[in-house]
Structure 1
Amino acid sequence: MAEENLSAVLYAKGDLRIENRPIPEPGPNEVLLQMHSVGICGSDVHYWQHGQIGDFVLKKPMVLGHEAAGRVVKVGSAVSHLKPGDRVAIEPGVPRDMDEFFKRGQYNLSPTIFFCATPPDHGNLCRYYTHNANFCYKLPDNVTFEEGALIEPLSVGIHACRRAGVTLGSTVLICGADLFAERLGVAKELGADFQLTVKKDDGAQQLAKKVEEILGAQPQITIECTGVESCIQTALYATCSGGVVMLVGLGAAMTTVPLVNAAVREVDIRGVFRYCNTWPMAIAMLSSGKVNVKPLVTHRFPLEQAVQAFETTHQGLGIKVMLKCDKNDQNP
């Protein structure tokens, strides 16, 4: 094992450093992982740019990164389902307590949950990292490390679709990258039937009409991924009566929306917080070949160039920027 544990550590707003840290020892229920691929999330960039997200404020240096996959190099004394050499994807949220949320299968809502790269919890953008073994999932041979890292954002989609009630035959509007034609192009390549480029002066009701014209009917479900007030308004106007608006994107704490319009049409407004119990489904989806996330990775950087990778993400130059943490294996 190498002596170094290079880590991407955020010290304060705008102060991201690459430094060497001790290689940790796994506890009885943990595994030590040699990290391979870690994706940069918008939340990582937000912490870097602002030093906080809502009530989560950076108060001491924190290792970033939570979209991750790696290889087991050591197991704790109580771990029996994993062994050195296993390739795994990491679920970053681990409940600390067997509270009421845990008992009813909503551990993601536990107020005491550990979550990678959310203050004060360290993330896994480093060479070596320890994690609860029960939240490390073996990857099939036909699923790459990068695909394993992308299970984290894929899980957000799975959890949102579950809560929205998406099934075969559902008509779904996704509000997301609609200001950027190149991102809409990627959405088309990955299976979107229709795309609508939004102009900044388009009104919410006007856009809702355009959506109905394109689809031939109002969507049954709208998944709103931006958190932008105007997009939430469009989502509510666009969704059919009796439908569901799923709020995935996080925006301002107070947002003005046409609530009465939604209420009298019995449009349900639902939210999500991360995900729970999604990794097995995501792995099955990737292994089957029915879901292809590989085109999402547009840039790759070695861990040593983490600052450049964050700048690339912040500038919007790619879809998903991936950091390669194993200096001896920079492959996908």
Structure 2
Amino acid sequence: MTASSHDRIPDTMRTSVLSAPGEIAVHHRPTPEPGAGQVLVRVDSVGVCGSDVHYYEHGRVGPFVVTAPLVLGHEAGGRIVSTGPDVDADRVGQRVALEPGVPCRRCDQCKTGRYHLCPDMRFFATPPVDGAFCEYVVLDEDFAHPVPPEISEDAAGLIEPLSVAVWACSKARIGAATRVLISGAGPIGVLTVQVARAFGATEITVVEPSEPRRDAATRFGATSTVDPTEREPTEVVDGVDAFLDCSGAAPAIRAGIPAVRPAGRVVLVGMGADEITLPMVVLQTREVEVTGTFRYANTWPTAIALAASGRVELDALVTGRYRLEDAEQALTANTDPHSIKPVVRPGQRD
């Protein structure tokens, strides 16, 4: 193992551990060591995702169930402090954004480039794999993506949710002059607004019941917003090229589909109920394409370039920074409608 001369790596590290729904506390665990082809990363910042909140509140997300103590957090950035065998020692000191899912690289999905659908994927903070609410993590080196100086510590972690938005907009085939409807103005919805704009969309309408979140969508590039408690989306827009649901709410999905033009696209990004009903007459008579999304594949170079160029703002999304000991506060910050993206900073002590 090759370590940095100016980073003393302790034998143990502080780790925030979820032991049961609603029960999270800091424990000391052995600091991991990188194996062959891996790097050890000192974690600087970790964004709080909706899945982290669901695990904290309910102990599960869809089919993924917490059955043993789990470390949350998968939106992470940091600095490489040591390398395992077969890794260039010059990577020590490099700032990186962590792509938190490592596939098998051998199955049919991996070989055809759809590695995010690998059945043997090991993804941070998805039971039984621990995440990044800790001081150090190990990761295969090719999933530790270098970031330029223009990207801050917090922004390096937020490359992960930005990748979700890049994948969603790619699936929707958003390009020059595309008209887009987006449901939900949480973190993913707001990032999807920014990516759609960067990809060339000229009309971006956001449906969101919360006024503070509608305001945020406007700040980040939405051309119009709709309060669904007052109006249906089709009263404001009609014949959009693509509808992206970032809410997971069945009523939002059903209300958005009729606004899509013939041969348009519907991309389901948010995760909600296991089953919902859809307006099949609209889907069939208009030949509307409907697809789900699950994480991302090969999006990190694009996401890093968008953030480094300033075409997508990541630091402006951060509405709270918390110590590792205050992870519970970060996980409950979503009760404030003005909160967009809380982050946990494992190295912060005061």
Interval of TM-score (by shorter of Structure 1 and Structure 2)? over 0.9
User: Does 2:152 match 1:144?
Assistant: yes
Deviation per residue, 1:94-142 (Å, 9 max, x gap): 1024110001100000111010000011101101111111100011011
Q: Using the TM superposition, give the Cα deviation of residue 169 of structure 1 relative to its aligned residue in structure 2, in angstroms.
A: 1.0
Match of 1:44 among 48, 52, 66: 52
Deviation per residue, 1:233-257 (Å, 9 max, x gap): 0121111111101110111111011
SS of the residue corresponding to residue 137 of structure 1 reads strand
**Which residue in 2 is equivalent to 1:281?**
302
Which ranges of structure 2 fall in alignment gaps of 5 or more residues?
A: 1-7, 186-207
The verdict on how the C-alpha distance between 1:100 and 1:228 changes in structure 2, with shifts beyond 3 A counting, is same
Partner AA of 2:258 in structure 1: Y
In structure 1, C-alpha distance between the alignment counterparts of 2:65 and 2:18, rounded to whole Å: 12
**Which residue in 2 is equivalent to 1:183?**
213
Contact (CA 8 Å) 1:147, 1:294: kept in 2 or not? yes
Partner AA of 1:184 in structure 2: R
Which residues in structure 2 correspond to 1:1-332 (within 5 Å)? 1=8, 2-80=10-88, 83-177=91-185, 178-199=208-229, 207-212=232-237, 217-327=238-348
TM-score (norm 2): 0.88
In structure 2, C-alpha distance between the alignment counterparts of 1:322 and 1:29, rounded to whole Å: 29
Q: Using the TM superposition, give the Cα deviation of residue 270 of structure 1 relative to its aligned residue in structure 2, in angstroms.
A: 1.0
Contact (CA 8 Å) 1:97, 1:113: kept in 2 or not? no
The verdict on how the C-alpha distance between 1:97 and 1:195 changes in structure 2, with shifts beyond 3 A counting, is same
Deviation per residue, 1:30-69 (Å, 9 max, x gap): 1111100000000001001111111111111111100000
In structure 2, C-alpha distance between the alignment counterparts of 1:93 and 1:86, rounded to whole Å: 20
SS of the residue corresponding to residue 155 of structure 2 reads helix
In structure 2, C-alpha distance between the alignment counterparts of 1:162 and 1:220, rounded to whole Å: 13
Contact (CA 8 Å) 1:45, 1:314: kept in 2 or not? no
RMSD, aligned α-carbons: 1.5
Higher strand share: 2
In structure 2, C-alpha distance between the alignment counterparts of 1:180 and 1:99, rounded to whole Å: 43
Name the % identity: 39
SS of the residue corresponding to residue 79 of structure 2 reads strand
The verdict on how the C-alpha distance between 1:236 and 1:82 changes in structure 2, with shifts beyond 3 A counting, is farther
Deviation per residue, 1:4-49 (Å, 9 max, x gap): 4111111111111211111011001111111000000000010011
The verdict on how the C-alpha distance between 1:225 and 1:81 changes in structure 2, with shifts beyond 3 A counting, is farther
* Runs of 4 or more consecutive aligned structure 1 residues displaced over 6 Å after TM superposition: none
In structure 1, C-alpha distance between the alignment counterparts of 2:90 and 2:98, rounded to whole Å: 13
In structure 2, C-alpha distance between the alignment counterparts of 1:231 and 1:122, rounded to whole Å: 33
Which ranges of structure 1 fall in alignment gaps of 5 or more residues?
A: none
SS of the residue corresponding to residue 224 of structure 2 reads coil
SS of the residue corresponding to residue 5 of structure 1 reads strand
Q: Using the TM superposition, give the Cα deviation of residue 211 of structure 1 relative to its aligned residue in structure 2, in angstroms.
A: 2.7
In structure 2, C-alpha distance between the alignment counterparts of 1:81 and 1:283, rounded to whole Å: 23
The verdict on how the C-alpha distance between 1:10 and 1:113 changes in structure 2, with shifts beyond 3 A counting, is same
TM-score (norm 1): 0.93
Partner AA of 2:341 in structure 1: K
